[in-house]
Amino acid sequence: MKIEAYENGVVIVTLCDKASKNTFSEAFIKGVIEVFEHTRNTPRYKVVVLTGFDHYFICGGTKQELLTLQEGGADFSDMPLYELPLNCEIPVIAAMQGHALGAGWAMGMLCDLTIFSEESVYSSRFMQFGFTPGFGSTLVFPHYFGKDLGHEILFTAREYKGRELKKRGMKMRVLPRSEVQSHAIDLANRMALSSRKILVKLKTDRSRNLRDHLETTLAQEVAMHKKAFVGNQEVLERIQRLFNDGGGIQENESQKKLAFRSEEVQSEETDEMLFETVLKKLRETLAEELSMQAAQVDDEAAFIEMGLDSISSATWMRQVSDHYGVSMAAPEVYNHPTLIRLTKHVIKKGKEQGCFASTKKATSIPISSKKKLHGDLVDPPQRVFKPREIQSEETDETLFESVLKKLRETPSRRAEYAGSTG
C-alpha cells in the first residue's frame, strides 16, 4: 500500500498488491486494515482518496477464500474489510480507476463518493458462482442504483463498463480512466477547505442510514449463505471451473456452444474471406474493449502492449464466444497474443467445434456471373466458341450471319440455353 499525505489534510491511499491484483489476499487485507488504522490515529487527516493501480481497483475475494467459505470454515463477516470506508470518521472518496469485482465493488460503494472509469469492468459476480450476494451488496446496490438496476446488478451478476452504467442513468460520476484520480483529488482538495470537525459531522449524518441498516443486512446475507453457499456442491464446482486467479471469470454460461452461426460467416466464404471477416470482428471488439478506434489497432502488436489486462481479456473472449459460438477462455489471449494469431486460432477452434461451415478455395467465376434457377445459384452453360467461326476481321454483318446460321443449326441447344436463363 502506498500513502501520500498532504499538508491540507488530504491523504491518497493507493492499493497496489500487484501479486494478487488487489484481490483479498492476506497481504492485501493486512495492508488495508493498517491504512485505515493509521488514518484513524492521525487527526490532521481530513479526506481520504482510495484508488488502485493500473487497471485494478479492488477485485474481491480470492479463490481460496471462496473455497473456505463454501466449506463452512468461515463466513465473510469474519473479515470486515469492506466496512472500513463506511466506518472511517472522515470522508472517503473511491477513485475507481480500474476494475471492481464482487466484494471489491461493494467496498467501493461503501465509500462516501464514488467515481467510475468509463473503460473499467464492474461486476457483483456472486450469483455467477451460484451463491447469494454478500458483503453488504444487497443493501448498497439498490440504495445507490435504484430498485431496478440495483436488482439487475445483483441477480444477473453480469459485467458492466462504466460508460454503460452512465447510459443507464447512474448518478455517480463516470470519467475516462486517466481522469478519475485527478478528479478525485480535486474534490478532496475542495472538501479539505472545511474543518475536520465539520467533515466528520457531515459524514456521520450522511452515513447514518447505511450504518443503521448494514448490521441487519449482513446478518441476513450470512443466513442466506448458510442455506445456499456452505456445503453446496454446485457452488464448489462453479468456483473450480469459473474462477480465474487473474481476477476475472474464465468463462460464462453463455459460452456453451451456440446452435447458430454468426450472420456474417457464410457457408460460401473462402478461407481468405473468412479470415478477413473474423479479423475485422476481433479488431472492432478489441477496440471497443480498449475504448479506442478500430483504425488505431495494430493487428500485429501484442495485446498486453495495447493495454489489455486479465479482466478485459476475459470480457473480450466472452464477447467473441457469444458472437461465434466458439468456446474461448481468457488465457488463450496470452497464448495467441496478436490479432493475426488469435484470428487463426478462433477459426481453427470454430471449425473443430462446428461453429464455422466449411470454406472453399476461391474460384475464377464470380457470384454475379451465376444465374438463379429455382432459388439456387447455378453456373450458366459454358459456351465454347471456335476461332474459325468468329474471325477477328469480321464485320458486324458477317458476324451476325455467322451466329444466326449456327443458331439455326442447333435448335435443341438454343432451347436448352433459353430455358436455363428464363
Q: What is the DSSP string of 148-179?
A: HHHHHHHHH---EEHHHHHHTT--SEEE-HHH
Return d(Cα 140, Cα 154) in angstroms, integer.
10
Looking at residue 99, what is its pLDDT?
A: 96
Pick from 218-222, 322-326, 334-338, 371-375: least confident: 371-375
pLDDT confidence bin for 413, thresholds 50/70/90: very low
Looking at residue 393, what is its pLDDT?
A: 47
Average pLDDT value for residue range 262-289: 76
Nearest residue to 118 (alpha-carbon basis) of 164, 153, 57, 185: 164
Catalytic residue among 225, 323, 336, 374: 225
Average pLDDT value for residue range 177-187: 97
Average pLDDT value for residue range 182-198: 97
Looking at residue 386, what is its pLDDT?
A: 43
Query: How many other CB atoms sit within 10 Å of the CB of residue 295?
Result: 7
pLDDT digits (tens, 9 = 90+) for 36-62: 999 999 999 999 999 999 999 999 988
Sequence-ordered list of residues with C-beta below 8 angstroms from that of 51, at least 6 positions apart, any chain: 12, 13, 14, 15, 57, 94, 95, 96, 97, 180, 181, 184
Are 2-238 and 250-352 in the same CATH fold? no
In three-state secondary structure terms, 96 is strand
Looking at residue 102, what is its pLDDT?
A: 94
The domain 2-238 having CATH identifier 3.90.226.10: the answer here is: yes
pLDDT at 146 over 80: yes
Return d(Cα 150, Cα 213) in angstroms, integer.
17
CA angle 99, 105, 108 (to 5 degrees): 105
CATH number of 250-352: 1.10.1200.10
Instruction: For 42, list phi and psi in degrees, rounded to 5.
Output: -120, 90
Looking at residue 223, what is its pLDDT?
A: 92
pLDDT digits (tens, 9 = 90+) for 148-172: 999 999 999 999 999 999 999 999 9
Whether 225 is a known active-site residue: answer yes
Domain ranges of the chain: 2-238, 250-352, 371-421
pLDDT at 289 over 50: yes
pLDDT at 204 over 90: yes
Looking at residue 290, what is its pLDDT?
A: 85
Q: pTM for the whole thing? A: 0.69
Nearest residue to 339 (alpha-carbon basis) of 287, 292, 293, 264: 287
Looking at residue 24, what is its pLDDT?
A: 92
C-alpha cell at 127: 450469483
